[in-house]
């Protein structure tokens, strides 16, 4: 829950253990102690022999005419043997178990030189005014370029372009290349989606579009991309894709993320894009004689950079100048081998041009791009408002591009009783830290504006260098309904501060007057109450659900109370203590005269895709996928509850599969339905009598809700997340409303008005309902989105409570 607090103290001082952050805009911050030691940094090259993968004749890269995955490691090993400019490492594993290769290309550096480069890189962020005016830094700092290739597995050629550039620069005797590598570090994520490269799929093997995951970070590949975007601090970031004809390259259309220093971005992004466009023309191909630059060529909303879920939009909030590059020619489909090879060759040339032209731009504008990257950090430290960019600032800039937020002075994530979930708060803090933000922890209790905070509360001073990404994650967001009629993709609102289950307070004009210590990890330890007591767990997070399911699996006697919480008798204290420690959750004293329903291990059959699968895994349920074609063999007697997250139409089932469904319902099996699929199934199966209405497919964001306090939503957060909302009317007898959309439903995002699908039609209507059929089936229908891309962590407890109640 995010609360806005009007504090009276306008210029209080945050007292920090070991260093002080001045609260005044004209003061320079001191450099804080760092978690990682510069003394441990080695020189370049840092060469490693990469493990070689077995030959795979089924690699989908082969018919396209690009390098198969199993040949990448041998090629990099050979380059390392022949050049001291190339350093390759295995930086992680993909979801499918493939190695993720990161390559750095630069002139050799001694250990002392590498440590100096690291100090300069940190100095630019920590003390930007002094750093950007230091003559030695401006002369000798190696400006970084980051190339992220092949994030969509069946868009192959970025990998080949990266390898071509690495190969050329590894052994070139051209003095210009020698100078370039003495003044730059080039960092390549060679194939950020090897699963998809080998299989010929957009998604990784877990089924996720990695270019929608940068602020959710559910996948190992995305974790690496985020790490590189944060740590490399690239001047320019290139995310290499396909296939849009003519070649598409950023900058983007509005809406723009409201937290960006857009003046410092667009002044470089547009001219470099024009330079890349000219480089494409110079290739001489008929297919590269023009480029599509959305900022210049498209209407608002067609190709925007609003949500920070994409590599470029996340990188822009890191003070990089980022680009998506969409190569023009699709090599897939019914083509001759020669045509595939021709197309993939041109695409590789296109990506090579983007890399080389971006390096040219950095060299031609070296001092200015360093200055402007530092200026982003300086404005953050100083707490300056975002600039009002005049029309015509660059050709095409107009009122439609003006998207700005107002930064609060600070945020507090409370500890103790005012915190909705300690483990959710720790997870949110970890997201902020992993995204390049800075967080401190109060060393004693304090008060701000009449509100008391206990020791251990997290303090986020927004006078920090990467305030843009921090605020983008914490603030509610903006209602952009009236500004655009289209978006490239959702969500139009996200706010981890409101949807990840933690309590977050906004302090508009104050910074707490308290001693704090900078931290590098969120803290949640778990606890048990003292004394001889039974143990109550108020389920408000996925970690609580994992604990409940682990306790059931371990043989504990878990009882569900009427409010949806659970109680475990003190005889199972050992199991409870283990759960508290393992899942970092807090148990409390149970009511003296409690009564509840004894639970057994819960088995969930689910109809749906990877999001349903992984949400159930995250919440600890034993789960089994069920499809219309497999009900007879999967919806067996051990299944307690059916989660319907995709279409399941009883009328189209075979006799055998319909019999299995009928038997499940006849024995009182529970049902939880999501989105439009859930109520459609409920109506077709004759379960709950409701009328479901879906909002526009584009509607997404953060909504205000009113919880009724039943077993599903007791204690739930007062906000929810939608990606096409659903609401319920015409409720039959025995249907209970657990949650409703508020009178003004949309807090942030996009949701049209003035139609039966509009937000005013949903105002006050049911978002979550439950009921019991005459046959004894407990049914819950949820019209918000607790599983969408694994984003809304704060809604997972509502889904889990629904499954427990329905079971």
- Strands lying side by side in the sheet with 515-519: 2-5, 504-507, 410-413, 458-461, 439-442, 515-519, 14-16, 19-21
CB 387 within 8 A of CB 401: no
CB 107 within 8 A of CB 182: yes
Structure pTM?
0.95
pLDDT given at position 37: 85
Is residue 366 exposed (0-12), middle (13-18) or buried (19+ Cβ within 10 Å)?
Answer: middle
Is residue 683 exposed (0-12), middle (13-18) or buried (19+ Cβ within 10 Å)?
Answer: middle
Task: Summarize pLDDT for 37-75 with one digit per residue, the tens.
Answer: 899 999 999 999 999 999 999 999 999 999 999 999 999
pLDDT given at position 586: 97
Question: ∠ CA 640-206-605 to the nearest 5 degrees?
Answer: 10
Q: Tell me how far apart the alpha carbons of residues 8 and 22 are, in angstroms, rounded to a whole number.
A: 18
CB 675 within 8 A of CB 724: yes
Q: Closest Cα partner for 321 from 244, 261, 274, 377?
A: 261
Q: Tell me how far apart the alpha carbons of residues 487 and 523 are, in angstroms, rounded to a whole number.
A: 37
Neighbours of 18 (CB within 10 A): 9
Residue 691: is the preceding peptide bond cis (ω within 30°)? Answer: no
Strand spans (E) along 329-442: 410-413, 439-442
Task: Summarize pLDDT for 647-660 with one digit per residue, the tens.
Answer: 999 999 999 999 99
Q: Tell me how far apart the alpha carbons of residues 650 and 148 are, in angstroms, rounded to a whole number.
A: 45
- DSSP per-residue string spanning 672-701: EEETTHHHHHHHHTT----EEEE--TT-EE
Q: Tell me how far apart the alpha carbons of residues 485 and 617 are, in angstroms, rounded to a whole number.
A: 37
Which positions ≥6 away from 685 have C-beta within 8 Å? Answer: 650, 661, 665, 671
CB 167 within 8 A of CB 77: no
Residues of the chain with pLDDT under 70: 1-36
Q: Tell me how far apart the alpha carbons of residues 313 and 318 are, in angstroms, rounded to a whole number.
A: 9
Handedness of CA 467, 468, 474, 480 (dihedral sign): positive
Q: Tell me how far apart the alpha carbons of residues 250 and 264 are, in angstroms, rounded to a whole number.
A: 15
- The continuous run of DSSP H or E covering 741 comes out as strand 736-750
Neighbours of 96 (CB within 10 A): 16
- Secondary structure in 3-state letters for 137-193: HHHHCCEEEEEEECCCCCCCHHHHHHHHHHHHHHHCCCHHHHHHHHHEEEEEECCCC
Chain centre distance of CA 91: 20
Structure tokens at 504: 């977050």
Question: ∠ CA 45-166-131 to the nearest 5 degrees?
Answer: 60
Outline where 187-309 has alpha helix (H). 194-199, 220-232, 262-283, 294-297
Neighbours of 334 (CB within 10 A): 5
Q: Closest Cα partner for 125 from 107, 141, 108?
A: 141
pLDDT given at position 36: 64
pLDDT given at position 21: 37
Q: Tell me how far apart the alpha carbons of residues 639 and 631 are, in angstroms, rounded to a whole number.
A: 11
CB 767 within 8 A of CB 724: no
pLDDT given at position 1: 40
- DSSP per-residue string spanning 416-464: GGG-S-HHHHHHHHHHHHHTT--EEEESS-EEETTEEE-TT-EEEES-S
* Helix then strand then coil, % of the chain, to nearest 5: 35, 20, 45
């Amino acid at each position: 829950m995010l609360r806005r607090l009007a504090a009276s103290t306008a210029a209080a001082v945050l007292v920090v253990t070991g260093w002080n952050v001045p609260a005044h805009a004209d003061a320079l911050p001191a450099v804080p102690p760092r978690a990682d030691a510069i003394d441990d940094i080695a020189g370049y090259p840092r060469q490693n022999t990469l493990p070689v993968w077995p030959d795979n004749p089924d690699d989908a890269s082969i018919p396209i005419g690009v390098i198969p995955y199993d040949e990448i490691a041998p090629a990099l090993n050979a380059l390392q043997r022949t050049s001291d400019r190339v350093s390759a490492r295995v930086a992680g594993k993909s979801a499918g178990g493939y190695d993720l290769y990161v390559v750095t290309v630069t002139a050799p550096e001694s250990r002392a030189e590498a440590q100096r480069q690291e100090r300069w890189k940190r100095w630019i962020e920590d003390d930007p005014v002094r750093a950007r005016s230091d003559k030695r830094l401006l002369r000798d700092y190696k400006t970084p370029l980051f190339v992220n290739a092949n994030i969509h597995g069946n868009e192959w050629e970025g990998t080949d372009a990266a390898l071509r550039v690495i190969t050329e620069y590894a052994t070139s005797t051209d003095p210009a290349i020698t100078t370039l590598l003495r003044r730059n570090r080039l960092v390549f994520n060679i194939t950020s989606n090897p699963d998809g490269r080998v299989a010929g799929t957009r998604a990784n093997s877990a089924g996720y579009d990695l270019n929608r995951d940068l602020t959710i970070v559910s996948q190992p590949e995305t974790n690496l991309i985020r790490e590189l975007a944060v740590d490399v601090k690239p001047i320019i970031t290139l995310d290499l894709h396909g296939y849009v004809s003519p070649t598409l390259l950023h900058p983007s259309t509005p809406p723009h993320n409201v937290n960006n220093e857009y003046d410092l971005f667009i002044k470089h992004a547009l001219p470099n894009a024009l330079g890349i466009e000219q480089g494409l023309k110079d290739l001489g191909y008929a297919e590269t004689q023009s480029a599509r630059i959305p900022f210049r060529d498209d209407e608002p909303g067609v190709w925007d950079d609003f949500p920070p879920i994409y590599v470029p939009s996340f990188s822009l909030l890191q003070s990089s100048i980022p680009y998506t590059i969409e190569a023009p020619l699709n090599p897939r489909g019914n083509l001759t081998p020669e045509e595939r090879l021709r197309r993939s060759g041109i695409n590789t040339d296109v990506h090579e041009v983007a890399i080389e032209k971006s390096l040219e731009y950095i060299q031609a504008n070296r001092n200015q791009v360093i200055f402007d990257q530092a200026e982003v950090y300086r404005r953050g430290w100083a707490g300056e408002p975002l600039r009002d960019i005049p029309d015509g600032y660059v050709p095409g800039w107009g009122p439609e591009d003006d998207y700005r937020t107002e930064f609060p002075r600070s945020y507090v994530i409370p500890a103790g009783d005012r915190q909705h979930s300690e483990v959710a708060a720790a997870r949110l803090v970890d997201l902020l830290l992993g995204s390049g933000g800075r967080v401190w922890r109060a060393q004693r209790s304090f008060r701000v504006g009449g509100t008391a905070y206990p020791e251990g509360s997290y303090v986020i001073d927004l006078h920090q260098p990467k305030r843009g990404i921090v605020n983008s994650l914490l603030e509610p967001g903006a209602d952009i309904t009236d500004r655009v009629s289209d978006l490239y993709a959702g969500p139009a609102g996200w706010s981890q501060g409101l949807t990840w289950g933690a309590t977050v307070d906004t302090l508009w004009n104050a910074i707490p007057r308290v001693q704090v210590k900078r931290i590098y990890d969120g803290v949640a330890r778990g606890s048990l109450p003292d004394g001889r007591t039974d143990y109550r767990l108020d389920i408000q997070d996925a970690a609580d659900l994992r604990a409940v399911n682990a306790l059931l699996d371990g043989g504990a006697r878990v009882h569900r109370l009427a409010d949806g919480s659970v109680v475990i008798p003190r005889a199972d204290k050992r199991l409870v203590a283990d759960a508290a420690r393992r899942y970092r959750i807090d148990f409390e004293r149970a009511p003296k005269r409690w009564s509840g329903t004894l639970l057994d291990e819960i088995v969930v059959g689910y109809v749906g895709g990877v999001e349903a699968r992984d949400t159930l895994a995250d919440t600890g349920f034993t789960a089994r996928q069920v499809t219309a074609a497999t009900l007879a063999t999967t919806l067996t007697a051990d299944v307690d509850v059916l989660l319907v997250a995709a279409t399941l139409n009883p009328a189209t089932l075979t006799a055998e599969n319909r019999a299995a469904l009928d038997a499940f319902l006849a024995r009182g099996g529970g049902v939880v339905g999501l989105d439009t699929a859930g109520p459609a199934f409920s109506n077709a199966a004759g379960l709950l009598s409701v009328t479901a209405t879906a909002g526009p497919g584009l509607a997404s964001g953060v909504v205000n809700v009113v919880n009724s306090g039943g077993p599903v939503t007791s204690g739930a957060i007062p906000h929810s997340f939608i990606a096409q909302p659903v609401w319920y009317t015409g409720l039959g007898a025995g249907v209970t409303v657990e949650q409703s959309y508020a009178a003004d439903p949309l807090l942030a995002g996009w949701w049209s008005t003035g139609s039966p699908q509009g937000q005013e039609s949903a105002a006050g209507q049911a978002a979550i309902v439950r009921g019991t059929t005459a046959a004894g089936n407990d049914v819950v229908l949820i019209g918000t989105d607790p599983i969408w891309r694994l984003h809304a962590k704060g809604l997972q407890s509502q889904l889990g409570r629904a499954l427990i109640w329905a079971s």
